[in-house]
Amino acid sequence: MNDETRNDQAGDSSDTLTALLKLAGPSAEIEDDIEKRVYANVRREWSRGRSRSTTVRWALPLALAASVLIVFSLNESDTVPQVRAVGSVAVAAGDAGLAVGDSVYTGDVLDTSNQRGMSLALRDGISLRIDAETLLKIDAADEFTLVAGRIYIDTGDLIYADSHVTVITASGTAMDVGTQFSVRFDDANMSVVVREGQVDLREGRRIYSAHRGDKVTVRPGTVAHFETIPVVGEHWDWASALAPAFEIENKSLLDFLKWVSRELGLELKIESDAMRMETMRPRLHGSIDGMSPQEALDAVLATTQFKYSIDSDTITISN
């Protein structure tokens, strides 16, 4: 980037910030040095947001303008509140625009219309996977607005915690009770499919509860439609393809098998207690990066004395 381009972008940033502050209206008088420091902080954050990929359409300038208003009205502090990251990119498929490890923030809008999806690692071990052709806004670390497309959420061990994830669409709201589930929104139809646990779906004054294997579709002004969907198979393949890689280095085989079974929607069964103890001892080495959960299962077990079989929704480990 040449000096002229930098100067043009700096001028654009300055003009945009000035317009935002004018929209905020008159404020109380503050000392010049405080005003300059606050303005510099806001400008720095705005410039940082502009340098990010267009995959994320930042709402950050408005949030920072609101922060300035708070500082002005209180007239007691010259520090702009920091915008906190709610997670980071775990998988970026195709030309995602965001790289693995990049942070995502409250107010970010993620648009996967030009690539094959991505997955985010959120707080408390929550995995959020965003299918292609999806537009999603991050309202908070545990609240999302699905404008269009499909997402998958795995809350992991939160089934034992007093915490929920909420997904909002124009047709209804879904709140999980410790689960793996997907939400799709298309042409006013909102569909929730539960792989594990329970999801409560609110449409207007109606509340529906969906459990393992349930698919619930709602549309404003109509009665919800229930059907049964297998918890294993092609409906979930897109989410498995976006699964963050399991770090096998120095992990036990049992840890790996638990991860695989969860990603494939299978119940893990080990033939005997003695065999379970054996799976706890080995320490794995290497990497399964780039492999699907099924491919990783075949590769890892090929290096052990164990074998597996899958019957319906159960994976059985034997010698």
- In this predicted model, what pLDDT tens digit does every residue of 272-289 receive, in sequence order? 999 999 999 889 999 998
The mean pLDDT value of the chain amounts to 79
Q: Do domains 85-237 and 245-318 have the same CATH topology?
A: no
Residue closest to 140 by CA, chosen among 163, 157, 119, 158: 163
Looking at residue 89, its pLDDT comes to 94
Tell me: pLDDT of 309 over 90.
yes
Q: Which tokens hold the place of 132?
A: 């292609």
**What dotted CATH number matches 85-237?**
2.60.120.1440
For the question of whether the overall pTM of this predicted structure is more than 0.85, the answer is: no
Q: Which tokens hold the place of 258?
A: 């638990």
Residue with more model confidence, 26 or 20 = 26
Looking at residue 44, its pLDDT comes to 45
Q: Identify the architecture of domain 245-318 in CATH.
A: 3-Layer(bab) Sandwich (3.55)
- In this predicted model, what pLDDT tens digit does every residue of 72-89 receive, in sequence order? 344 444 555 567 799 999
pLDDT band of 53, cuts 50, 70, 90: very low
Residue closest to 262 by CA, chosen among 231, 288, 235: 231
In the chain, domain spans: 3-74, 85-237, 245-318
Summarize the confidence of residues 256-275 as an average pLDDT.
Answer: 94
Q: What is the maximal distance between C-alpha atoms in the chain?
A: 77
CA distance 306 to 18: 66
> Any alpha helices (H) in 133-244, and if so which ranges?
237-241
Summarize the confidence of residues 131-157 as an average pLDDT.
Answer: 93
Q: Which tokens hold the place of 228?
A: 């049964």
- Sequence-distant (≥ 6) Cβ neighbours of residue 139 within 8 angstroms: 106, 107, 145, 168
Looking at residue 83, its pLDDT comes to 72
In the chain the first and final C-alpha atoms are separated, in Å, by 61
